[in-house]
Amino acid sequence: MVAFNVPNGDPVNDVSTGAANDLQQATDLVRSMITEFGMSDNLGLAAYNQARQAPFPQAGMQDRGLEYSQETAKLIDAEVSRMLSESYATTNKILSRERHYLEIVAQALLEKETLTGEELRSLMESKVNKAA
């Protein structure tokens, strides 16, 4: 998912609107990694839960809202942005370096439309063996 718009064209610096859903899913995933699973070096091993409801709400009882400060919310937003930017840069670097594989797969998909895992493995192995 983090490769949200790279396959839509040139794998380097090609930003398009066609990948909005992928970007939203990547953002949601990274936010969950940080706030639910404690997967952030900068924020540490902590779960930052949002808008939890009481298990047995009583009449007139409202949501408790955020369970962390506005400052922590800003840190979470900054960490989401940092992690997405780093992932995007890494993806661009890998796809630029391995562009020939991307082109091989794109050509095969133009010819056949879909590839099974086995077909993809076979295609990659045959191209690697020819290059060796």
Percentage with pLDDT > 70 across the chain:
70
Residues 6+ apart with CB under 8 A from 118: none
pTM of the model: 0.68
3-class SS letters over the chain: CCCCCHHHCCCCCCCCHHHHHHHHHHHHHHHHHHHCCCCCCCCCCCCCCCCCCCCCCCCCCCCCCCCCCHHHHHHHHHHHHHHHHHHHHHHHHHHHHCHHHHHHHHHHHHHHCCCCHHHHHHHHHHHHHHHC
Average pLDDT over residues 112-121: 93
Count helices and strands in the chain by DSSP H and E runs: 4, 0
Least confident of 6-10, 12-16, 38-42, 90-94: 6-10
Answer positive or negative: Cα dihedral of 9, 14, 16, 21: positive
Percentage with pLDDT > 90 across the chain:
46
Residue boundaries of the structural domains of the chain = 6-97, 98-132
Which tens digit of pLDDT belongs to each residue from 18-65? 677 888 999 999 999 999 999 999 998 988 876 555 556 665 555 556
Per-residue pLDDT, 10: 56
CATH classification code of 6-97: 1.20.58.760
